Amino acid sequence: MNRRMKKFIVPSILSADFTKLGEEVKAVQSAGADWIHVDVMDGHFVPNITIGVPVVKSLQSISPPPIDIHLMINNPEGFVETFIDSGGSYVKSLTVQVESCNLIYNTIKLIQSKGVMAGVAINPGTPLSSVTELLPYMDMVTIMTVEPGFAEQKFIPSMISKIKQMRDIIDSSEFSPLIEVDGGIKLENIGEAAEAGADVFVSGSGIFKSGDYKGSIDKMRAILENAAHAATG
């Protein structure tokens, strides 16, 4: 059973309208977003290129919600400090992919030395055993529920049992990293992901393409509260 009760709703700005990014971030902030998620892609680790350091830097001037940076890039260890510095005190967490990070233990320690939560993401085909040795160190594990690279993909249903297995591994340990889910999270599946044991819910198109940011976040929050009650009750 998930010992944590607090759940975090985290819009991914990849699905925002980039012609007015500042307004979009402020809009999800006032609609109740807990953090915002920034997807960084390099065209090598994933077949897409998105945004980088200058965009994160520009967000500082609008006092954004806490920023959750997701690096889908090769050799992320060389960019950790630059990204954290670009977001300043707004950077809440920085997540690297276990598949592309050499010296992952050192990278986690480097992220934490900057006062930021260290996340480790695993792709759908990567086994949980690739992160279990990191349980004592990481602050968050991100279960990718789509192949990384693009927004608006469909949630892979078999990832529910992966989330449950991660929950069981964490709950039977003495450590308590957050479980984040990322990819295809929408109103229709956020409850199931929560019941499986996730704590942090990244949603790009599920919020930004909904046409009603507050409406969708409120509905997600209500579903998460019900899932929490079902777990305790």
Residue 70 in the binding site for Zn ion (CB under 5 A): yes
Query: With 0-12 CB in 10 A as exposed, 13-18 as middle and 19+ as buried, what is 50?
Result: buried
φ, ψ of residue 69 in degrees (nearest 5): -95, 130
Using the rule CB under 6 A, which residue among 96, 118, 202, 217 binds ligand DX5? 202
**How many CB atoms within 10 Å of residue 212?**
11
- Residue number with the smallest Cβ distance to ligand DX5: 204
**How many CB atoms within 10 Å of residue 14?**
22
Residue 149 binds: one of Zn ion, ligand DX5, none (C-beta under 5 to 8 A by kind): ligand DX5
Q: Please report how close the Cβ of residue 9 comes to ligand DX5 at its closest, in angstroms.
A: 12
Active-site position among 34, 68, 139, 182: 182
Catalytic residue flag (residue 171): no
Residue 29 in the binding site for ligand DX5 (CB under 6 A): no
Residue 92 in the binding site for Zn ion (CB under 5 A): no
Helix axes 213-232, 187-196, angle to 10 degrees: 30
Catalytic residue flag (residue 212): no
For tokens 């305790």, the residue is 232
Specify the 3-state DSSP secondary structure of 34. coil
Residue 182 in the binding site for Zn ion (CB under 5 A): yes
- Residue number with the smallest Cβ distance to Zn ion: 70
- The site for ligand DX5 (CB under 6 A) is made up of 12, 14-15, 37, 39, 70, 146, 148-153, 182-185, 202-206
